[in-house]
């Protein structure tokens, strides 16, 4: 029996879809069987980032409305040996065609066959968000060091805490080392303390993320990339390993070490 | 036969004591007889005030208005109050709710609202976009970065006690005070716990916490109690 994890943020553009693709990839590299579910119906992107756009035949709305079987709609990522799969969103429908009950039923079906089901939540807190949350066992909250993203994250924590999921786990994405070192943005410690949720990991901003996404190759496939390492560390923590937090700078290690060990 | 209504003169004026076991109609009949001489006595320029005490009996609103009508009709008598030794459970609960202090242990996040009757003690922080609201005073053991609204239903003596080191908004009744800190970059320390209150000119003021006992000496005591009648 697998586990469904929703990846959400509230605000758009903080990297939910990129993170879903990369965490899926990183978990698959760890030998797990993963299904990614794109819930951004009407504005699907996850297929593009994974480079699977041209293979879509049926989508999630087809499955829910009975036009296709689940296994017909799910696309296999050929880069992996039966480990990474995608259930794409519909592009010609809107988020209200699915309700929470249908979503719970669908994810329960997926949980039977996969180790992890990662649900890519759309931005906002409307029906698409509610659907994504309804079926999840756990939540990963993506934010960036920007105050607007943090504000929305706070709102999302409040909403998620009211459900059976409880407190979401935090991922701080798109960290620009230099800005954080200069104190121009809130640092990791401050953000975590302010939101008062558990920190799952940090991902540094890197041009390669955009470059590889544009080619349809999630950056997590590259073992040497700094963003990729962030995602790989998060994947290992999801699997229960203890992995130290990446550092902004070597000499600052003791400080971050302290943060991680608390 | 035992009288069901007794007329008593005290230094505070006349009192009508009603036997709690008597039927309402009997009470009315006897009352009208009793006040007959009083009606004549009371002059137009100096109305006589009466207090009615009903003991362990509770008059309904209809009974009260009938009694008042009987006494004040074509006379210079005036009913000052109808007092009882007892209250309904509903009213007692309502009163208890209004004067009791509510303890809430939670973080109030953006978009969330905690609303209580009476005073609120919040153990936790109010994040930006979050709101705490109380009909009485608000005491926050945590950071206030959102909105705190005390005296939400018009209780002007209400105060807000919190750490005012951050951008926040305080409301008392319908007065709003915006707290702005130029250097909001969290310093972490230097707690600035202060009290915000409404002064005699209806202006929101911020004072050091040590002043609170002078400003609101009644704070912390249940004063006034439940007035019957």
Give A219-239 pLDDT, tens digit per residue.
999 999 999 999 999 999 999
Where does the pLDDT of residue A217 fall: very low under 50, low under 70, confident under 90, or very high at 90 and above? very high
Sheet holding B77-83, edge to edge: B5-10, B13-18, B48-53, B77-83
In whole angstroms, give the CA distance from residue B229 to residue B227: 7
Give A30-79 pLDDT, tens digit per residue.
999 999 999 999 999 999 999 999 999 999 999 999 999 999 999 999 89
Mean pLDDT over A248-261 rounds to 60
Q: Which of A154, A161, A190 sits opposite B127 (nearest CB)?
A: A154
C-alpha dihedral sign at A98, A102, A103, A106: negative
CB count, 10 Å around CB of A67? 12
Q: Which residues of B touch A155 (CB under 8 A)?
A: 109-111, 129
Q: Which residues of A touch B109 (CB under 8 A)?
A: 154-155, 157-158, 161
CB count, 10 Å around CB of B57? 17
Q: Which residues of B touch A163 (CB under 8 A)?
A: none
Ramachandran quadrant class, B48 (left: phi over 0; alpha: psi -120 to 50; beta: rest) = beta
DSSP state of A221: G
Long-range Cβ contacts of A147-150 (<8 Å, 24+ apart): A147/A186, A148/A11, A149/A9, A149/A10, A149/A11, A149/A14, A150/A186, A150/A191, A150/A194, A150/A195
Reading the block at residue A109, the tokens are: 């079906």
Residue A28's nearest CA partner among A250, A238, A260 is A238
Q: Which helix (H) or strand (E) holds B114?
A: strand B113-116
Residues 6+ apart with CB under 8 A from B109: A154, A155, A157, A158, A161, B127, B129, B130
Phi, psi dihedral angles at B180 (to 5 degrees): -125, 135
Mutation for A interface: B106, B109, B187, most A CBs within 10 A: B109
Ramachandran quadrant class, A6 (left: phi over 0; alpha: psi -120 to 50; beta: rest) = beta
Phi, psi dihedral angles at A231 (to 5 degrees): -65, -40
- Contact between B12 and B51 under an 8 Å Cβ cutoff? The reply is yes
Q: Which of A151, A194, A196 sits opposite B129 (nearest CB)?
A: A151
Mean pLDDT over A184-191 rounds to 93
A-facing residues of B in 186-215 (CB < 8 A) are 186
- Contact between B76 and B47 under an 8 Å Cβ cutoff? The reply is yes
Q: Where are the alpha helices (DSSP H) in chain B?
A: 24-41, 61-72, 89-99, 212-215
- Contact between B149 and B129 under an 8 Å Cβ cutoff? The reply is no
Three-state DSSP state, B67: helix
| Residue A125: predicted pLDDT | 93
In whole angstroms, give the CA distance from residue B113 to residue B127: 11
Q: Using the beta-carbon criterion (under 8 Å), do B109 and A154 form an inter-chain contact? A: yes
Give A114-169 pLDDT, tens digit per residue.
999 999 999 999 999 999 999 999 999 999 999 999 999 999 999 999 999 999 99
Whether the predicted model's global pTM rises above the 0.90 cut: no
* C-alpha separations of A94 from A36, A64, A98, B16 in Å: 19, 13, 9, 74
Q: Using the beta-carbon criterion (under 8 Å), do B110 and A155 form an inter-chain contact? A: yes
Q: Flag residues of chain B having pLDDT under 70.
A: 1-2, 43-44, 181-191, 222-229
Phi, psi dihedral angles at B121 (to 5 degrees): -110, 115
| Residue A201: predicted pLDDT | 95
Q: Using the beta-carbon criterion (under 8 Å), do A157 and B109 form an inter-chain contact? A: yes
User: What are A's interface residues with B at a Cβ cutoff of 8 A?
Assistant: 151-152, 154-155, 157-159, 161, 183, 190, 194, 196
Q: Which residues of A touch B110 (CB under 8 A)?
A: 151-152, 154-155, 158
Q: Which residues of B touch A158 (CB under 8 A)?
A: 109-112, 130
Least confident of A106-110, A193-197, B222-226: B222-226
Binding region of A for ATP: 11-18
HSE (side-chain half, CA atoms, 13 Å) at A147: 7
pLDDT of A250 above 70: no
| Residue B229: predicted pLDDT | 45
CB count, 10 Å around CB of B177? 18
CA Rg value for chain A: 18
Mean pLDDT over A197-201 rounds to 95
Q: How far is B158 from chain A (nearest CA, A)?
A: 28
Most confidently predicted of A78-82, A108-112, A250-254: A108-112
Residue A145's nearest CA partner among A193, A183, A184, A185 is A185
Q: Which of A151, A190, A196 sits opposite B186 (nearest CB)?
A: A190
Structural domains in chain A?
3-261 (3.40.50.300)
Structural domains in chain B?
5-83 (3.30.750), 98-215 (2.160.20.70)
Q: Where are the alpha helices (DSSP H) in B9-157?
A: 24-41, 61-72, 89-99
pLDDT of A251 above 60: no
- Contact between B80 and B50 under an 8 Å Cβ cutoff? The reply is yes
Q: Which helix (H) or strand (E) holds B13?
A: strand B13-18
In whole angstroms, give the CA distance from residue A89 to residue A44: 6
| Residue B181: predicted pLDDT | 67
Helices (H) and strands (E) in chain B, counts: 4, 15
- Contact between A91 and A9 under an 8 Å Cβ cutoff? The reply is no
In whole angstroms, give the CA distance from residue B210 to residue B212: 6
Task: Search chain A and give the residue with CA nearest B112.
Answer: A158
- Contact between A246 and A202 under an 8 Å Cβ cutoff? The reply is yes
**Average pLDDT taken over every residue of chain A:** 92
pLDDT of A196 above 60: yes
pLDDT of A202 above 90: yes
């Amino acid at each position: 029996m697998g586990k469904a994890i929703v990846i959400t943020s509230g605000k758009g553009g903080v990297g939910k879809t990129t993170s879903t693709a990369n965490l899926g990839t990183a978990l698959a590299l760890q030998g797990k069987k993963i299904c990614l579910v794109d819930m951004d119906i009407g504005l699907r992107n996850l297929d593009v980032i994974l480079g699977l756009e041209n293979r879509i035949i049926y989508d999630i709305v087809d499955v829910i409305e009975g036009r296709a079987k689940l296994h017909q709609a799910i696309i296999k990522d050929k880069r992996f040996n039966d480990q990474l799969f995608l259930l794409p969103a519909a592009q010609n429908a809107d988020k209200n065609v699915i309700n929470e009950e249908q979503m719970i039923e669908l994810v329960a079906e997926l949980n039977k066959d996969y180790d992890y089901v990662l649900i890519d939540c759309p931005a906002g807190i409307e029906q698409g968000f509610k659907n994504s949350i309804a079926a999840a066992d756990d939540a990963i909250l993506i934010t960036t060091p920007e105050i607007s993203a943090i504000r929305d994250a706070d709102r999302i924590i409040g909403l998620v805490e009211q459900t059976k999921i409880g407190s979401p786990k935090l991922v701080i994405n798109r960290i620009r080392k230099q800005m954080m070192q200069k104190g121009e943005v809130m640092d990791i410690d401050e953000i975590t303390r302010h939101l008062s949720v558990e920190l799952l990991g940090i991902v540094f901003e890197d041009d390669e993320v955009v470059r590889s996404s544009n080619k349809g190759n999630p950056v997590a496939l590259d073992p040497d990339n700094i963003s990729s390492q962030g995602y790989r560390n998060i994947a290992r923590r999801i699997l229960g390993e203890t992995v130290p937090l990446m550092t902004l700078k070597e000499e600052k290690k003791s400080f971050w070490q302290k943060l991680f060990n608390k | 036969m035992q009288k069901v209504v007794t007329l008593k003169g005290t230094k505070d004026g006349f009192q009508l004591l009603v036997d709690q076991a008597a039927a309402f109609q009997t009470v009315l009949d006897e009352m009208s007889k009793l006040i007959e001489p009083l009606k004549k006595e009371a002059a137009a320029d100096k109305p006589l005030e009466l207090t009615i005490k009903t003991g362990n009996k509770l008059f309904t609103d209809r009974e009260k208005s009938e009694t008042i009508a009987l006494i004040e009709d074509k006379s210079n008598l005036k009913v000052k109050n109808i007092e009882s030794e007892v209250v309904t459970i509903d009213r007692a609960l309502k009163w208890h709710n209004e004067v009791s202090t509510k303890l809430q242990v939670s973080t109030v996040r953006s978009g969330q609202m905690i609303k209580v009757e009476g005073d609120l003690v919040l153990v936790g922080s109010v994040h930006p976009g979050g709101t705490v609201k109380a009909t009485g005073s608000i005491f926050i053991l945590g950071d206030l970065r959102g909105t705190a609204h005390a005296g939400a239903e018009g209780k002007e003596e209400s105060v807000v006690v919190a750490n005012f080191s951050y951008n926040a908004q305080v409301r008392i009744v319908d007065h709003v005070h915006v707290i702005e800190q130029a250097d909001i970059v969290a310093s972490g320390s230097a707690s600035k716990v202060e009290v915000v209150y409404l002064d005699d000119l209806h202006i929101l003021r911020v004072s050091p916490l040590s002043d609170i006992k002078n400003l609101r000496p009644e704070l912390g005591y249940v004063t006034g109690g439940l007035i019957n009648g």
